[in-house]
Amino acid sequence: MLIILNGQISISMSEITVKGLRKEYDGFVAVESLDFEIGKGEIFGIVGPNGAGKTTTLKMLSGLIAPTEGSIKIQGLDIKKDAQRIKQKLGFLPEESPLYEGMTAHDYLMFFAQIYGIEKKEASRRIEEILRALRLDSGNKKNGEMSKGMQRKVAIARALINDPEYLVLDEMTSGLDPTTSKYLADFVSELKKQGKTIVFSAHNLYQVESLCDRVLIMNRGKEIAIGTMPQIKKMCGGIVYTIEFRVKAAIDFEAVQNNGNFIARTNNMDEFNRITGWVAKHNGKIIDIRTMETSLEEIFLKLMD
């Protein structure tokens, strides 16, 4: 099922433009015919099951692998022709990001700052600022002695050391405890306030729903849906109505019993009106009516059927 949502990006200009993106490995098509734009200062999420093509797409956006077909332009620069200039503006966090275990976080980050050609005094200032923002006080611990959450923060700090204009984050919070995961999600929100453009993938759909301006849902290398959360919910989800009632008559629609009451659920307004009208006609009593929007997780599972 392919659902295209033609919502306009509300942010003033496109930072990233992708057209006809395709990646093939020895006859296997990992990504097929992707077209999208990402606005400057936008958080853009990519979700999909394992093997959907998310990581391949992020690697192409980062210039790590070349597309088989199609184009990627970042700030008007073609990633095939201007990969080096683009990488100066980019921060990339891979899903698996091993560190140099024998180095401290400070020395590790200083090493990467020097690769970017950052003057030592400026690099020290930037390192302290990033570590403070990430609440990463590792003392003289070596990277290999840190917890997984602390190591992930070091990897994120590495992606930020060149003060990039846009960030590509692959499964930023994968395997982390809820507290660390929540902190890093809040940290990404703060980066957006600084004007950074952020593209990330995640299996945590609640996090994607709460953070992203727009979401691309992929499966088997293809776009399934793309748009803002309200757009995706309107097209793929909707509102679920829950009616709790009491009645003595035998009901002629699906409902479950709960503590002497009945509970019926529907996402169809005509069916909602029929149920409430039926209860009134049979001298029943409406106890409660609740409405709930379909979550991204529910939409995702529906689209993957």
Provide the pLDDT confidence category of residue 289 given band limits of 50, 70 and 90: very high
Mean per-residue pLDDT, 106-128 = 95
* Range 58-84 average pLDDT: 93
- pLDDT of 8 over the 80 cut: no
Does one domain contain both 260 and 125?
no
Any domain includes 8: no
Q: Are strands 214-219 and 256-258 parallel, antiparallel or unpaired?
A: unpaired
Q: Give yes or no: residues 252 and 229 share one domain.
A: no
Q: Does 153 share its domain with 193?
A: yes
Among 235, 253, 272, give the residue marking a domain's end. Answer: 235
Give the Cα separation of 45 and 188 in Å (integer).
12
Domain final residue, candidates 203, 235, 267: 235
Q: Helix, strand or coil for residue 104?
A: strand
Calculate the average pLDDT of the chain: 90
- pLDDT value at 269 more than 90: no
Pair 201, 90 in one domain: yes
- Are 222 and 256 contained in the same domain? no
Residue 244 maps to a domain: yes
Indicate whether 262 and 167 sit together in one domain: no
Domain CATH number, residue 126:
3.40.50.300
CA nearest neighbour of 21 among 13, 31, 30: 31
- The predicted structure's pLDDT at residue 6: 47
Mean pLDDT (whole number) for 147-164: 94
If asked whether residues 215 and 257 sit together in one domain, one would say: no
pLDDT at 10: 41
Do the domain assignments include residue 287?
A: yes
Predicted confidence at residue 12, as pLDDT, reads 43
Question: Whole domain around residue 257: which residue ranges?
Answer: 238-304
- Name which of 224, 284, 227, 295 is nearest 260 in CA terms: 284
Higher pLDDT, 232 or 61: 61
Last residue in a domain, options 214, 235, 256: 235
Average the pLDDT over 184-201 and give the result. 93
- Over range 263-270, report the average pLDDT: 90
295 domain residue, yes or no: yes
- Tell which residue, 43, 141, 158, has the closest CA to residue 97: 158
Confidence of residue 259 (pLDDT cuts 50, 70, 90): confident
Q: For residue 288, how many other CB atoms are within 10 A of its CB?
A: 10
Question: Does pLDDT of 189 surpass 70?
Answer: yes
pLDDT at residue 13 in the model? 64
Residue 46 CA to residue 219 CA, distance in Å, equals 11
Q: Is the pLDDT of residue 1 over 60?
A: no
Is the confidence at residue 3, as pLDDT, over 50?
no
Domain annotation covers residue 81: yes
For position 9, what pLDDT does the model report? 39
Pair 167, 147 in one domain: yes
CA 1 from centre of chain: 21
Given pLDDT bands bounded at 50, 70 and 90, which one contains residue 232? confident
Examine the domain organization and report whether 183 and 297 are in the same domain. Answer: no
Number of domains in the chain: 2
What whole-number distance in Å separates Cα of residue 211 and Cα of residue 123? 29
273 in the same domain as 219: no
Residue whose C-alpha is closest to residue 34's, from 228, 304, 223: 223
Kindly state whether residues 88 and 143 are assigned to the same domain: yes
pLDDT at 298 exceeding the cut of 90: no
CATH number at residue 292: 3.30.1490
Q: Residue 301: pLDDT above 90?
A: no
Residues 6 or more apart whose Cβ sits within 8 Å of residue 202: 45, 47, 171, 172, 173, 174, 208
Residues 53 and 164 in one domain: yes
